[in-house]
Amino acid sequence: MAPTARQDGLALLARRDLTTAELSARLTRKGHSPEEISATIDELLAAGAIDERRVAEVVVRAALRRHHGRARALQALAARGIPSPIAREVVADAFDALDEESLVDAALARRLRDESADPRVVRRVHGQLVRLGYSSGAIAAALRRRGLWPVR
């Protein structure tokens, strides 16, 4: 006898916290009907087995460990299917407790060894930090403190 959507859902959640979107996609791949998936997800949400806030907090902590900024953390949450209001709230909680200025300074220190860096290097590092999710304004301010902005 084939396992039910509930059994498959619990087995998947026993291995890793998943969002409702991720669990729905995995149960669909296993061949369960949309009605069965919806009922299972509602039941697991009510039981507390699915907690999107908990998943969001784990994702944001991982982003911080990787030295990612707010924008990149929000992008990672969206990719996991975390609803936007929860994502914004969790990111705000995590990043408001931190000093963005020191995060950007630390990221610059890892990438710029020479204070008299070539303008091409400064532009490249600026782009890298933007892709890591730091705001362009915060990066420019940190470069300005080092005397490297505006780039000539």
Q: What is the mean pLDDT of the chain?
A: 93
CB environment 75-105: b (16+ within 10 A), e (fewer): ebbeebbbbeebbeebbeebbeeeebeebbb
Query: pLDDT at position 53, please?
Result: 97
Spell out the domain ranges in the chain: 5-47, 52-96, 100-145
DSSP 49: S
> pLDDT tens-digit profile of 49-66?
999 999 999 999 999 999
Q: What is the pLDDT of residues 97-110, one digit of tens each?
A: 888 889 999 999 88
**Whether the predicted pLDDT of 151 surpasses 90:** no
The residue with greater pLDDT, 44 or 117, is: 44
Taking residues 4-16, what's their average pLDDT?
Answer: 96
Expressed in angstroms, the distance from the first to the final Cα of the chain is 70
- Cα–Cα distance measured from residue 64 to residue 77, given in angstroms and rounded to the nearest whole number: 13
Predicted confidence at residue 117, as pLDDT, reads 75
For tokens 């900024």, the residue is 69
Q: Are 73 and 133 in contact (CB under 8 A)?
A: yes
Give the per-residue pLDDT at 115. Answer: 67
**pLDDT at position 116:** 67
